[in-house]
Amino acid sequence: MLLTELAEKIGGTIVVDNPSANITAAYTSDLLSDVMGHCGEESALITIQNHLNAIAVATLVGNEAIVLCHSRPVPDDMKAAATREGIALVTTPLSQFAASVALQELNPSQK
């Protein structure tokens, strides 16, 4: 899935773009240690963790994009790190549950 398509499905705003993102899965979690343990590559991370460490973890697990729910603001340092690491950032007014439902085709177990 392209980033523009993902953003459209969740009524999202692309804060940091990544036109080459190829998103094939998604994982929803607010516990970064859980993300590290279970989130796969080429995925979008759906979370409320709007801080720098989320980018570090996303880099580690190979995320293509982070979806920040409840329209959480993106701090400048997070934006800069995402740009540097080539990780797209999308904010959405949806909750984690609603965003996950809207992106259900990215559920790895349904493939």
Partner 1 sequence: MRFDLHIHTCLSPCAELAMGPQEIVARARAAGMDGIAITDHQSAKNAPAVMECARRVGLRCLAGLEVQTAEEVHTLALFDTAEAALALTEHVYAALPKRKNDPDTFGDQPVVTADEDVVEMEGRLLAAGCRLTIPEVARLVYDLGGLYLAAHIDRPAFSVISGLGAVPEGVFDALELSRTAQAAEWERHTAGYALTRASDAHHPGDVSRVWTEAEGEFSVAGLRDIFARRATRLSERITCF
Q: State the residues that interact with partner 1 by CB under 8 A.
A: 31-33, 36-37, 49-51, 53, 56, 59-60
Q: Which is nearer to partner 1, 4 or 70 (CB)?
A: 70
Q: Scanning the structure block, which residue is given the tokens 């899935």?
A: 1
Give the residue from 46, 40, 27, 32 showing the smallest Cα distance to 107: 27
SS3 70: coil
Q: Which is nearer to partner 1, 96 or 102 (CB)?
A: 96
Q: How far is the CB of 20 from partner 1 (least distance, A)?
A: 20
Radius of gyration of the chain (CA): 12
Q: Which is nearer to partner 1, 49 or 100 (CB)?
A: 49
